[in-house]
Amino acid sequence: MRWRAAAILGVLALALTGAAHAQKKAPERLKAALERELGLTKTSTELAESLAVLDRERSSLEYTATVLDHAARESMRRLDAYRKRRTDREMTARTRARSLYKLSRGGVARLAFESAGGSDREQELERRILRGRALRFLVRHDLVELDVYRRAEDRAASELVAAAREMQTLGAITMVAGVQEHALVSAEHAINPDLRATMRSRRRLMDKLEDDVRFEHKVLLRNVKRNWRALRSLRGLDGSARLVRPVKGRVVGKFGPYTDRVLDLPSIRNGVELHARRDEPVRAMADGRVVMVTALPGFEDVVVIDHGGGQYTLTARLWDIAVEEGQEVEGGDLLGRVASKAMDDGLGSTVYVELRHGEKPVDPTAYLKRSKRAE
Protein backbone atom coordinates (compact mmCIF):
# COMPACT_ATOMS: atom_id res chain seq x y z
CA MET A 1 0.00 0.00 0.00
CA ARG A 2 2.89 2.33 0.76
CA TRP A 3 4.33 2.00 -2.67
CA ARG A 4 0.92 2.75 -4.21
CA ALA A 5 0.57 5.88 -2.10
CA ALA A 6 4.09 6.87 -3.03
CA ALA A 7 3.30 6.35 -6.72
CA ILE A 8 0.14 8.45 -6.47
CA LEU A 9 2.02 11.21 -4.71
CA GLY A 10 4.71 11.05 -7.36
CA VAL A 11 2.15 11.39 -10.17
CA LEU A 12 0.50 14.32 -8.38
CA ALA A 13 3.87 15.96 -7.91
CA LEU A 14 4.68 15.54 -11.60
CA ALA A 15 1.29 16.92 -12.57
CA LEU A 16 1.69 19.94 -10.30
CA THR A 17 5.22 20.47 -11.59
CA GLY A 18 3.96 20.26 -15.19
CA ALA A 19 1.14 22.69 -14.46
CA ALA A 20 3.52 25.13 -12.82
CA HIS A 21 5.94 24.78 -15.71
CA ALA A 22 3.11 25.35 -18.20
CA GLN A 23 1.94 28.39 -16.23
CA LYS A 24 5.47 29.74 -16.32
CA LYS A 25 5.71 29.12 -20.06
CA ALA A 26 2.30 30.71 -20.82
CA PRO A 27 3.65 34.30 -21.05
CA GLU A 28 6.34 33.14 -23.47
CA ARG A 29 3.79 31.32 -25.60
CA LEU A 30 1.54 34.40 -25.56
CA LYS A 31 4.42 36.58 -26.72
CA ALA A 32 5.23 34.12 -29.51
CA ALA A 33 1.56 33.99 -30.53
CA LEU A 34 1.30 37.79 -30.58
CA GLU A 35 4.48 38.15 -32.62
CA ARG A 36 3.27 35.52 -35.06
CA GLU A 37 -0.15 37.16 -35.33
CA LEU A 38 1.53 40.54 -35.83
CA GLY A 39 3.58 39.15 -38.71
CA LEU A 40 0.62 37.38 -40.28
CA THR A 41 -1.66 40.43 -40.05
CA LYS A 42 1.07 42.57 -41.61
CA THR A 43 1.45 40.11 -44.51
CA SER A 44 -2.34 39.88 -44.90
CA THR A 45 -2.61 43.67 -44.94
CA GLU A 46 0.03 43.90 -47.66
CA LEU A 47 -1.85 41.29 -49.71
CA ALA A 48 -5.14 43.12 -49.18
CA GLU A 49 -3.53 46.43 -50.23
CA SER A 50 -2.22 44.80 -53.41
CA LEU A 51 -5.67 43.38 -54.13
CA ALA A 52 -7.22 46.82 -53.55
CA VAL A 53 -4.75 48.33 -56.04
CA LEU A 54 -5.61 45.61 -58.57
CA ASP A 55 -9.30 46.23 -57.98
CA ARG A 56 -8.85 49.94 -58.73
CA GLU A 57 -6.81 49.06 -61.82
CA ARG A 58 -9.51 46.64 -62.95
CA SER A 59 -12.14 49.36 -62.57
CA SER A 60 -9.94 51.67 -64.61
CA LEU A 61 -9.44 48.98 -67.26
CA GLU A 62 -13.17 48.32 -67.42
CA TYR A 63 -13.83 52.04 -67.88
CA THR A 64 -11.14 52.26 -70.58
CA ALA A 65 -12.60 49.20 -72.31
CA THR A 66 -16.03 50.85 -72.29
CA VAL A 67 -14.58 54.04 -73.79
CA LEU A 68 -12.66 52.09 -76.45
CA ASP A 69 -15.71 50.02 -77.32
CA HIS A 70 -17.75 53.20 -77.72
CA ALA A 71 -14.97 54.74 -79.86
CA ALA A 72 -14.78 51.61 -82.04
CA ARG A 73 -18.56 51.55 -82.52
CA GLU A 74 -18.59 55.25 -83.36
CA SER A 75 -15.72 54.81 -85.84
CA MET A 76 -17.57 51.90 -87.46
CA ARG A 77 -20.77 53.95 -87.65
CA ARG A 78 -18.98 56.89 -89.25
CA LEU A 79 -17.09 54.59 -91.62
CA ASP A 80 -20.35 53.02 -92.82
CA ALA A 81 -21.97 56.47 -93.17
CA TYR A 82 -18.99 57.88 -95.13
CA ARG A 83 -18.94 54.85 -97.44
CA LYS A 84 -22.66 55.17 -98.15
CA ARG A 85 -22.39 58.92 -98.80
CA ARG A 86 -19.33 58.41 -101.00
CA THR A 87 -21.10 55.73 -103.03
CA ASP A 88 -24.13 57.98 -103.50
CA ARG A 89 -21.90 60.90 -104.43
CA GLU A 90 -19.92 58.78 -106.91
CA MET A 91 -23.13 57.75 -108.68
CA THR A 92 -24.28 61.38 -108.85
CA ALA A 93 -20.86 62.52 -110.12
CA ARG A 94 -20.84 59.84 -112.84
CA THR A 95 -24.31 60.87 -114.00
CA ARG A 96 -23.34 64.54 -114.17
CA ALA A 97 -20.03 63.75 -115.85
CA ARG A 98 -21.82 61.73 -118.54
CA SER A 99 -24.27 64.60 -119.07
CA LEU A 100 -21.39 67.07 -119.35
CA TYR A 101 -19.60 64.76 -121.79
CA LYS A 102 -22.70 64.41 -124.01
CA LEU A 103 -23.29 68.14 -123.84
CA SER A 104 -19.73 68.95 -124.89
CA ARG A 105 -19.66 66.36 -127.71
CA GLY A 106 -23.03 66.74 -129.35
CA GLY A 107 -24.68 69.80 -127.97
CA VAL A 108 -22.71 73.04 -127.66
CA ALA A 109 -20.23 72.33 -130.49
CA ARG A 110 -22.97 71.42 -132.97
CA LEU A 111 -25.02 74.52 -132.16
CA ALA A 112 -21.99 76.79 -132.40
CA PHE A 113 -20.92 75.71 -135.91
CA GLU A 114 -24.27 75.28 -137.61
CA SER A 115 -24.85 77.96 -140.24
CA ALA A 116 -28.48 78.51 -139.50
CA GLY A 117 -28.91 81.36 -137.10
CA GLY A 118 -31.72 83.01 -135.27
CA SER A 119 -32.60 84.20 -131.82
CA ASP A 120 -34.00 80.81 -130.78
CA ARG A 121 -30.77 79.13 -131.77
CA GLU A 122 -28.73 81.68 -129.84
CA GLN A 123 -30.93 81.30 -126.77
CA GLU A 124 -30.61 77.52 -126.92
CA LEU A 125 -26.85 77.86 -127.27
CA GLU A 126 -26.73 80.19 -124.27
CA ARG A 127 -28.85 77.80 -122.24
CA ARG A 128 -26.59 74.88 -123.09
CA ILE A 129 -23.47 76.87 -122.29
CA LEU A 130 -24.91 77.87 -118.92
CA ARG A 131 -25.97 74.28 -118.26
CA GLY A 132 -22.50 73.07 -119.19
CA ARG A 133 -20.91 75.55 -116.80
CA ALA A 134 -23.28 74.48 -114.01
CA LEU A 135 -22.58 70.81 -114.68
CA ARG A 136 -18.83 71.47 -114.72
CA PHE A 137 -19.10 73.28 -111.37
CA LEU A 138 -21.20 70.49 -109.88
CA VAL A 139 -18.81 67.80 -111.11
CA ARG A 140 -15.88 69.68 -109.60
CA HIS A 141 -17.83 70.05 -106.37
CA ASP A 142 -18.65 66.32 -106.44
CA LEU A 143 -14.97 65.49 -106.88
CA VAL A 144 -14.05 67.72 -103.93
CA GLU A 145 -16.69 66.07 -101.77
CA LEU A 146 -15.55 62.63 -102.85
CA ASP A 147 -12.02 63.52 -101.77
CA VAL A 148 -13.38 64.73 -98.40
CA TYR A 149 -15.32 61.49 -97.92
CA ARG A 150 -12.29 59.39 -98.84
CA ARG A 151 -10.13 61.23 -96.31
CA ALA A 152 -12.88 60.89 -93.67
CA GLU A 153 -13.13 57.16 -94.46
CA ASP A 154 -9.38 56.76 -94.08
CA ARG A 155 -9.45 58.62 -90.78
CA ALA A 156 -12.38 56.54 -89.45
CA ALA A 157 -10.68 53.33 -90.57
CA SER A 158 -7.45 54.39 -88.86
CA GLU A 159 -9.35 55.18 -85.66
CA LEU A 160 -11.08 51.79 -85.84
CA VAL A 161 -7.75 49.99 -86.26
CA ALA A 162 -6.20 51.99 -83.42
CA ALA A 163 -9.15 51.16 -81.13
CA ALA A 164 -8.86 47.47 -82.05
CA ARG A 165 -5.14 47.48 -81.25
CA GLU A 166 -5.73 49.25 -77.95
CA MET A 167 -8.44 46.70 -77.11
CA GLN A 168 -5.95 43.90 -77.79
CA THR A 169 -3.37 45.57 -75.55
CA LEU A 170 -6.03 46.12 -72.91
CA GLY A 171 -7.00 42.45 -73.10
CA ALA A 172 -3.38 41.42 -72.51
CA ILE A 173 -3.08 43.78 -69.53
CA THR A 174 -6.38 42.47 -68.13
CA MET A 175 -5.14 38.89 -68.48
CA VAL A 176 -1.90 39.72 -66.61
CA ALA A 177 -3.90 41.51 -63.89
CA GLY A 178 -6.14 38.45 -63.59
CA VAL A 179 -3.11 36.19 -63.12
CA GLN A 180 -1.74 38.55 -60.46
CA GLU A 181 -5.09 38.69 -58.68
CA HIS A 182 -5.36 34.88 -58.70
CA ALA A 183 -1.89 34.60 -57.17
CA LEU A 184 -2.71 37.16 -54.46
CA VAL A 185 -6.06 35.55 -53.64
CA SER A 186 -4.40 32.13 -53.42
CA ALA A 187 -1.76 33.52 -51.06
CA GLU A 188 -4.48 35.18 -48.98
CA HIS A 189 -6.49 31.96 -48.75
CA ALA A 190 -3.34 30.06 -47.77
CA ILE A 191 -2.52 32.44 -44.92
CA ASN A 192 -6.06 32.85 -43.57
CA PRO A 193 -6.34 29.48 -41.72
CA ASP A 194 -3.00 30.05 -39.99
CA LEU A 195 -4.03 33.58 -39.10
CA ARG A 196 -7.34 32.46 -37.59
CA ALA A 197 -5.67 29.64 -35.65
CA THR A 198 -3.05 32.04 -34.27
CA MET A 199 -5.74 34.52 -33.24
CA ARG A 200 -7.71 31.79 -31.43
CA SER A 201 -4.55 30.60 -29.67
CA ARG A 202 -3.73 34.16 -28.60
CA ARG A 203 -7.24 34.68 -27.21
CA ARG A 204 -7.11 31.42 -25.22
CA LEU A 205 -3.73 32.34 -23.73
CA MET A 206 -4.96 35.82 -22.80
CA ASP A 207 -8.05 34.37 -21.14
CA LYS A 208 -5.83 31.97 -19.20
CA LEU A 209 -3.43 34.68 -18.02
CA GLU A 210 -6.19 37.23 -17.33
CA ASP A 211 -4.56 39.91 -15.13
CA ASP A 212 -1.02 38.55 -15.58
CA VAL A 213 -0.67 40.01 -19.08
CA ARG A 214 2.62 41.90 -19.23
CA PHE A 215 3.33 45.35 -20.63
CA GLU A 216 5.19 43.91 -23.62
CA HIS A 217 2.13 41.79 -24.40
CA LYS A 218 -0.10 44.88 -24.32
CA VAL A 219 2.22 46.74 -26.70
CA LEU A 220 2.18 43.82 -29.13
CA LEU A 221 -1.59 43.52 -28.78
CA ARG A 222 -2.07 47.21 -29.66
CA ASN A 223 0.00 46.70 -32.82
CA VAL A 224 -1.94 43.53 -33.67
CA LYS A 225 -5.28 45.33 -33.28
CA ARG A 226 -4.04 48.23 -35.39
CA ASN A 227 -3.16 45.74 -38.14
CA TRP A 228 -6.56 44.09 -37.81
CA ARG A 229 -8.29 47.46 -38.21
CA ALA A 230 -6.27 48.19 -41.35
CA LEU A 231 -7.02 44.72 -42.68
CA ARG A 232 -10.76 45.05 -42.01
CA SER A 233 -10.89 48.43 -43.74
CA LEU A 234 -9.34 46.84 -46.84
CA ARG A 235 -11.10 43.49 -46.85
CA GLY A 236 -14.58 44.24 -45.64
CA LEU A 237 -16.73 41.11 -45.76
CA ASP A 238 -15.86 38.77 -48.60
CA GLY A 239 -17.91 35.85 -49.84
CA SER A 240 -15.90 33.38 -47.73
CA ALA A 241 -16.41 35.28 -44.47
CA ARG A 242 -17.56 33.15 -41.53
CA LEU A 243 -19.92 35.39 -39.64
CA VAL A 244 -21.18 35.09 -36.11
CA ARG A 245 -24.93 34.61 -36.10
CA PRO A 246 -26.57 37.46 -34.14
CA VAL A 247 -29.05 35.04 -32.56
CA LYS A 248 -29.59 31.31 -32.94
CA GLY A 249 -33.05 31.51 -34.52
CA ARG A 250 -33.90 30.67 -38.12
CA VAL A 251 -34.87 33.16 -40.83
CA VAL A 252 -38.61 33.89 -40.55
CA GLY A 253 -38.68 36.97 -42.80
CA LYS A 254 -36.82 36.64 -46.10
CA PHE A 255 -34.91 39.28 -48.05
CA GLY A 256 -36.74 40.98 -50.93
CA PRO A 257 -40.41 41.47 -51.88
CA TYR A 258 -43.06 40.27 -49.44
CA THR A 259 -46.64 41.03 -48.37
CA ASP A 260 -47.04 42.90 -45.11
CA ARG A 261 -49.26 40.77 -42.86
CA VAL A 262 -50.68 43.75 -40.96
CA LEU A 263 -51.40 46.12 -43.87
CA ASP A 264 -51.86 43.38 -46.48
CA LEU A 265 -49.78 45.44 -48.92
CA PRO A 266 -46.76 44.50 -51.07
CA SER A 267 -43.48 45.69 -49.59
CA ILE A 268 -39.72 45.10 -49.83
CA ARG A 269 -37.46 43.88 -47.03
CA ASN A 270 -33.82 45.02 -47.32
CA GLY A 271 -32.65 42.51 -44.70
CA VAL A 272 -33.90 39.40 -42.89
CA GLU A 273 -35.88 38.75 -39.72
CA LEU A 274 -34.36 36.12 -37.38
CA HIS A 275 -36.51 34.36 -34.82
CA ALA A 276 -35.37 35.26 -31.28
CA ARG A 277 -36.43 35.07 -27.64
CA ARG A 278 -37.23 38.16 -25.61
CA ASP A 279 -34.06 39.41 -23.81
CA GLU A 280 -31.84 36.96 -25.74
CA PRO A 281 -28.27 38.31 -26.18
CA VAL A 282 -27.57 39.70 -29.68
CA ARG A 283 -24.03 39.43 -31.06
CA ALA A 284 -22.01 41.39 -33.60
CA MET A 285 -21.76 39.51 -36.89
CA ALA A 286 -18.12 40.44 -37.57
CA ASP A 287 -15.27 42.70 -36.51
CA GLY A 288 -15.75 46.39 -37.13
CA ARG A 289 -16.40 49.83 -35.68
CA VAL A 290 -19.75 50.99 -34.32
CA VAL A 291 -20.75 54.05 -36.36
CA MET A 292 -24.33 54.54 -35.16
CA VAL A 293 -26.48 53.71 -32.16
CA THR A 294 -29.97 55.15 -32.43
CA ALA A 295 -33.69 54.40 -32.28
CA LEU A 296 -35.81 54.05 -35.44
CA PRO A 297 -39.61 53.85 -35.53
CA GLY A 298 -40.65 50.23 -35.93
CA PHE A 299 -37.13 48.92 -35.31
CA GLU A 300 -36.58 49.99 -31.70
CA ASP A 301 -32.84 50.49 -30.99
CA VAL A 302 -30.45 49.78 -33.86
CA VAL A 303 -26.67 49.36 -34.07
CA VAL A 304 -24.78 50.03 -37.33
CA ILE A 305 -21.26 48.59 -37.69
CA ASP A 306 -18.72 49.53 -40.36
CA HIS A 307 -16.84 46.38 -41.40
CA GLY A 308 -14.55 48.10 -43.90
CA GLY A 309 -14.50 47.77 -47.66
CA GLY A 310 -17.69 49.84 -47.87
CA GLN A 311 -19.73 47.18 -46.05
CA TYR A 312 -22.04 47.74 -43.09
CA THR A 313 -24.40 45.71 -40.95
CA LEU A 314 -27.49 47.04 -39.23
CA THR A 315 -28.88 45.05 -36.30
CA ALA A 316 -32.29 46.17 -35.06
CA ARG A 317 -35.07 45.41 -32.55
CA LEU A 318 -32.70 45.76 -29.60
CA TRP A 319 -32.68 47.24 -26.14
CA ASP A 320 -30.15 47.39 -23.29
CA ILE A 321 -27.46 48.40 -25.78
CA ALA A 322 -23.94 47.31 -24.68
CA VAL A 323 -21.86 49.33 -27.18
CA GLU A 324 -21.41 52.98 -28.09
CA GLU A 325 -20.52 54.91 -31.22
CA GLY A 326 -16.82 54.79 -32.15
CA GLN A 327 -16.22 51.55 -30.25
CA GLU A 328 -14.23 48.76 -31.92
CA VAL A 329 -15.99 45.38 -31.67
CA GLU A 330 -15.13 41.84 -32.63
CA GLY A 331 -17.41 39.21 -34.10
CA GLY A 332 -19.44 37.72 -31.27
CA ASP A 333 -19.27 40.75 -28.98
CA LEU A 334 -22.52 41.61 -27.20
CA LEU A 335 -24.49 44.41 -28.87
CA GLY A 336 -27.60 44.32 -26.69
CA ARG A 337 -30.68 42.22 -26.03
CA VAL A 338 -33.81 41.38 -27.99
CA ALA A 339 -36.55 43.94 -27.43
CA SER A 340 -40.30 43.45 -27.57
CA LYS A 341 -42.02 44.79 -30.69
CA ALA A 342 -44.12 47.92 -30.53
CA MET A 343 -46.48 46.36 -33.12
CA ASP A 344 -47.07 42.68 -33.80
CA ASP A 345 -46.23 41.89 -37.43
CA GLY A 346 -47.18 38.22 -37.24
CA LEU A 347 -43.57 36.97 -37.12
CA GLY A 348 -43.25 36.84 -33.36
CA SER A 349 -40.16 38.07 -31.51
CA THR A 350 -37.36 38.73 -34.02
CA VAL A 351 -34.06 40.47 -34.63
CA TYR A 352 -33.73 42.36 -37.91
CA VAL A 353 -30.36 42.15 -39.70
CA GLU A 354 -29.39 44.18 -42.76
CA LEU A 355 -26.16 43.95 -44.77
CA ARG A 356 -25.19 46.76 -47.15
CA HIS A 357 -22.39 47.23 -49.61
CA GLY A 358 -22.28 51.01 -49.90
CA GLU A 359 -25.86 52.08 -50.63
CA LYS A 360 -26.88 48.67 -51.98
CA PRO A 361 -28.65 46.18 -49.67
CA VAL A 362 -27.30 42.62 -49.94
CA ASP A 363 -29.12 39.44 -48.97
CA PRO A 364 -27.32 38.26 -45.80
CA THR A 365 -28.80 34.75 -45.96
CA ALA A 366 -25.74 33.29 -47.69
CA TYR A 367 -23.50 34.76 -44.98
CA LEU A 368 -25.74 33.38 -42.25
CA LYS A 369 -25.57 29.90 -43.79
CA ARG A 370 -21.82 29.98 -43.47
CA SER A 371 -21.86 31.56 -40.04
CA LYS A 372 -20.98 29.92 -36.77
CA ARG A 373 -22.95 30.57 -33.63
CA ALA A 374 -21.55 32.63 -30.87
CA GLU A 375 -20.13 30.64 -27.99
| Segment 279-325, tens digit of pLDDT | 999 999 888 889 999 998 888 899 999 887 778 899 999 999 999 99
**Percentage of the chain exceeding pLDDT 70:** 78
Pairing of the two strands 372-373 and 244-245: parallel
Give the helix, strand, coil percentages of the chain, each rounded to 5.
Answer: 60, 15, 20
Q: Which fold has domain 244-373?
A: Glucose Permease (Domain IIA) (2.70.70)
Mean pLDDT for the chain?
77
Q: What are phi and psi of 318, to 5 degrees?
A: -115, 165
Residues 6+ apart with CB under 8 A from 349: 275, 276, 277, 278, 338, 340, 341
Where do the structural domains in the chain lie, given as residue ranges? 1-235, 244-373
Helices 119-209 and 215-235, axial angle in degrees (round to 10): 150
Cα separation, 182 vs 188, whole angstroms: 10
How far is it, in rounded angstroms, from Cα 218 to Cα 294?
33
Residues present in the chain in total: 375
Class of domain 1-235: mainly alpha
C-alpha span between 34 and 192 (Å, rounded): 16
More confident residue, 17 or 316: 316
- Of 171-175, 277-281, 355-359, highest mean pLDDT: 277-281
Amino acid at 251: V
**Could you give the C-alpha distances from 240 to 99, 189, 295, 300, 363, in angstroms and in order?**
78, 10, 32, 31, 15
Comparison of pLDDT for 257 and 58, the residue scoring more:
257
Q: pLDDT tens across 47-57, in order?
A: 888 887 787 78
Phi then psi for residue 345, to 5 deg, are -105, 10
- pLDDT higher than 90, residue 337: yes
How far, in Å, CA of 313 to CA of 112, rounded? 97
Residue pair 349/341 in contact by the 8 Å Cβ criterion: yes
CB atoms inside a 10 Å sphere around CB 103? 17
DSSP string, 173-235: HHHHHHHHHHHHHHHHHHHHHHHHHHHHHHHHHHHHHGGG--HHHHHHHHHHHHHHHHHHHHH
Separation CA 33–CA 40 (nearest Å) = 10
Average pLDDT over residues 109-113: 49
Distance in angstroms (rounded) separating the CA atoms of residues 250 and 245:
10
The mean pLDDT value for 336-352 works out to 86
State residue 375's pLDDT score: 34
Report CA dihedral (32, 34, 38, 44) to the nearest 10 degrees: 100
